[in-house]
Each structure stands twice: as structure tokens, then as C-alpha cells.
Structure 1
Amino acid sequence: MKEPDPPLQKKDFETLAEFRYQLRRFLRFSEEVTRRHGITHLQYLLLLHIKGFPGREWATVGELAERLQAQHHGVVALITRCEKLGLVERSVSPHDKRQVEIRLSRKGEECLERLARLHRAELLSLQGKFTVPDIRSFSGED
């Protein structure tokens, strides 16, 4: 039978709280900077996940739904809004006519470049403050 995990100590809660605080600060920064640039935080994330999809310059709705941890129909609506803003383009896959590829438009590329630079600068400013807690150190010892 597995031994019960040792109880968490005060320092464990402090570590978790600090991580969540720094994470929330970064997310708030992202929400504000995207709004100032005329798009929503989710629209920025969609652009980022398209550009950052491993190995190619496009992604499917299903892949984007997974990356965004969102429902398929919600991602379709998000793509439609971004398409109306001229940020993304849809095209039928030349390899599989059932598949739709979502790509950044030139305007989307430019918008993402500006915002990604600001996000990178903010992450660099958090260096040393924003560290992922090492859960292995949650030993239950004081």
C-alpha cells in the first residue's frame, strides 16, 4: 500500500502562491497589451498558436482547440472573428479536402510580431521572479 503524501508546509503554500501571483501578473499584462493593440487576449493566443505550431505555418481547428483548451465550436467562432479582422485565412488542405488549414495573413503576422516582442520583453523582466516551482521539493519538511 502506498504511503500517504506528507502534509504540505507553509513554504509549499508560499511557493505555489508566488508562482500563481507571477503567472497572473503576466496574464494581466498580456490582456492589457493586446487590448491596447486592438485585439483580445484570445485572438492573440490564436495567432500565437498558429505561428508556433510545431513543424508548419498552419494549424487545423481541432489542433487549435487543443492548444487553447477550448471547445471546437468556440474556436471556430474565434477564427471567424479573426478572419473578419483580416488576421487569419482559411483554406482547404490540398492533401485532404476534408481538412481546413488556418494560416496567418500578412496583417496577422505583423500584429503577432509586435505583440510577441512585447510579451518576450515582459517575460525577460520577470526573470528570476517567475520560476516554476519544483514540486519534488514539496517534501513536507520544514
Structure 2
Amino acid sequence: MDDRQLSDRDHQALASFRHALRVFLRFSEEAAREADVTPAQHQLMLAIKGWSGPLPPTVAELAHQLQLKHNSTVELVQRAAAAELVRSDPNPLDRRQHLTRLTERGEASIASLSLLHRDELRRFRTEMNDVLRELN
């Protein structure tokens, strides 16, 4: 069998990988809901907290990070601001842009969610190592 054809074992490994991803995503969605935020708000807060730029991220930068359309990101930021998870302030360097920051509530929420996710990712890593070995 050449490298362009997949064996039954390869298909089983790919199916296992996809299943493990879905299990992780379901865990993440449920953890967010249990923390009283939507999964989208959780992803937004994580994108803000994990932002490495010199300034807080703009809506355009968040849209790129989240792979959402600009107007969808604006709505997400507005809903998260209404829930007191984030705040959006004009960029002092370019007043056309808004910089998005976590509030105290947002900081507390992402801190607890990130701890849960780190532990789940440690479990997930072990499972993924086994699955990925099967694809060699």
C-alpha cells in the first residue's frame, strides 16, 4: 500500500482523533455554560487573555483570532460587555478602533475555566499521543 492510500487502521485512527476532538469541544462547551457564560463568550475571553500584542486586541484582531466575521465579532463583544465580561474602549492611537479588555468578572471567569481546560487538555494529550502514534 502506498502513502496515498489509507488502511482501515488509518481510518480508525482518524475517526478516533475526530471523536476525541468532539469530546473535548463538548467538555469545553459544557464547562462554559456551567460557568454562566456562552461557549462563544468563553472563546472571546480566551482570545483576549491570550492576546500577545502590545495593546489589547481590536475587534478586527479578535475576528481574525476567532475566525468570525467582523459584524459577528462586534455583536459578540457587545453581548459580552452587557454580561460585564469585557469592556471596549476607543484606541487612543486611532479613535476609529476599539480595544477590548476583560473586566474583573471576565478575568475571574477565564481563570477558572482555563484551570479546568488545562486539566482536561492534559488528559486529552495522553489520548491524542496514542491516536497520533497510530498514524505513523
TM-score by length of 1: 0.85
One-letter amino acid matched to 1:38? D
The alpha carbon displacement at 1:56 in A equals: 4.2
Q: Which residue of 2 aligns with 1:140?
A: none
Note if 1:103 corresponds to 2:97: no
Residue number among 48, 51, 54 corresponding to 2:52 in the alignment: 54
How far apart are 1:121 and its partner, in Å? 1.0
Residues 1:46 and 1:24: Cα distance change in structure 2 (over 3 Å): same
Aligned partner of 2:12 in structure 1 is: 14
Deviations 1:41-83 (A, max 9, x none): 1100000000101234621111111111111111111100000
How far has the Cα of 1:6 moved from its partner?
Answer: 1.9
How far is the alpha carbon of 1:24 from its aligned partner?
0.6
- Structure (1 or 2) with the larger CA radius of gyration: 1
TM-score by length of 2: 0.89
* Secondary structure in 2 matching 1:130: helix
Partner of 1:82: 80
Identity %: 40
Which structure 2 segments of 5+ residues have no match? none
- Cα distance in structure 1, aligned partners of 2:102 and 2:8: 46
Distance 2:100 2:120 in 1: 28
Higher percent of residues as helix: 2
Q: Which runs of 5+ in 1 are unaligned?
A: 138-142
User: Residue type of the partner of 1:66?
Assistant: H
**Matched pairs, number:** 134
Contact conserved, 1:30 with 1:119, CA < 8 A, in 2? yes
- Inter-CA distance 20–57: structure 2 relative to 1 (3 Å threshold): farther
- Aligned partner of 1:65 in structure 2 is 63
